[in-house]
Amino acid sequence: MIKGIRSAVFGVGAAVTVALGAPGYATAETLTDALISAYDNSRLLEQNRALLRAADEGVASAMAALRPVIGFTADASVTDTDTASNLMSSSVGLGAELTLYEGGSNRLAVEAAKETVLATRAGLLNVEQNVLLSAVQAYLDVRSATDNVRLSNNNVRVITEQLRAARDRFEVGEVTRTDVSLAESALAASQSAQVAAQGALIVARENYKLAVGHYPEPLTGTLRVPGLPKTREEALDIARRSHPTIDSAQRSLTVADLNLLRARAARKPTITMNAGITATDSDIPSNDGTASRIGIDLSQPIYAGGAIASAERAALANREAAAANLHYVSQQVELGVGNAWAQLSIARAQLEATDKQIRAAQLAFDGTREEARLGSRTTLDVLDAEQDLLDARTARVQAEAAQYFAYYAVLSSMGLLTVEHLNLGIPTYDPAAYYNSVKGGPSRSIQGDKLDEVMKALGKK
pLDDT score recorded for residue 171: 87
Alpha-carbon distance of 27 to 443, in angstroms, equals: 49
pLDDT score recorded for residue 394: 87
pLDDT score recorded for residue 12: 33
Domains of the chain, CATH where assigned: 2-18+27-41+106-266+321-421 (1.20.1600.10)
pLDDT score recorded for residue 196: 94
Alpha-carbon distance of 421 to 125, in angstroms, equals: 12
Question: What are the φ and ψ backbone dihedral angles of 90, each rounded to 5 degrees?
Answer: -145, 155
Contact 127, 201 (CB under 8 A): no
Residues whose CB is less than 8 angstroms from the CB of residue 149 and which lie 6 or more positions away in sequence, other chains included = 16, 194, 197, 198, 201
Chain segment 155-182, per-residue pLDDT in tens: 898 889 888 888 888 888 878 888 889 8
pLDDT score recorded for residue 54: 92
Classify residue 427 as left (phi > 0), alpha (psi -120 to 50) or beta: beta
- pTM, two decimal places: 0.82
pLDDT score recorded for residue 368: 86
pLDDT score recorded for residue 51: 93
Question: For the chain, which ranges sit under pLDDT 50?
Answer: 1-26, 458-461
